[in-house]
Amino acid sequence: MRFSLTLLLALVLSAPFACAPKKIKVYETESAIQARSSLAEYAITLLGKPYRSGAKGPQSFDCSGLVYYVYGRFDVMMPASTEGLGRVGYEVSRNNMTAGDLAVFRIKGDMHVGIMINALEFIHASKSRGVAIDSVDLPYWQQNFSHFRRVF
């Protein structure tokens, strides 16, 4: 009985000092929201540019090259690979996603990335169509969707 009481007392006394995860609320600034929106608007000006593997623009792009180039135009240094882009910044939920955030997909083991231009559509470099706009709600993109990321 004495051992149980000692153990119980030790647990109760140590509880207030235990580590617990803390929730941190991130507040969006109006300038960050506007900058991401401007970034998305600029990306739209590249519609129709041809796809070329490894291309980082401005005449042609692959998917990571498009993101790298567009963010670079706004003085934001980004990883040059899809794997790096899939880890940059932090993950956001669909409910919190805004224009300028990244949409990350996993297709047959490979990653694909695009830039959200509104709550439904993203712009990306498609192998078959070049720089194009698609909806994340299309069945193909839904089944290959991984996550959204916010860089700033």
The token duo for 31 is 């300038």
Choice among 36, 49, 124, 150 that is catalytic: 124
Choice among 63, 70, 97, 111 that is catalytic: 63
Answer yes or no: are the C-beta atoms of 150 and 89 closer than 8 Å.
yes
Choice among 36, 67, 68, 112 that is catalytic: 112
Distance in angstroms between the alpha carbons of the first and the last residue of the chain: 57
The token duo for 141 is 């993109």
Answer yes or no: are the C-beta atoms of 119 and 136 closer than 8 Å.
no
112 is catalytic: yes
Please tell me the distance from the alpha carbon of residue 101 to that of residue 123, in angstroms, as a whole number: 11
19 is catalytic: no
Buried b vs exposed e over 74-86: b needs ≥16 C-beta within 10 Å? eebebeeebeebb
Amino acid identity of residue 141, one-letter, is: W
- Which residues are part of the catalytic machinery? 63, 112, 124
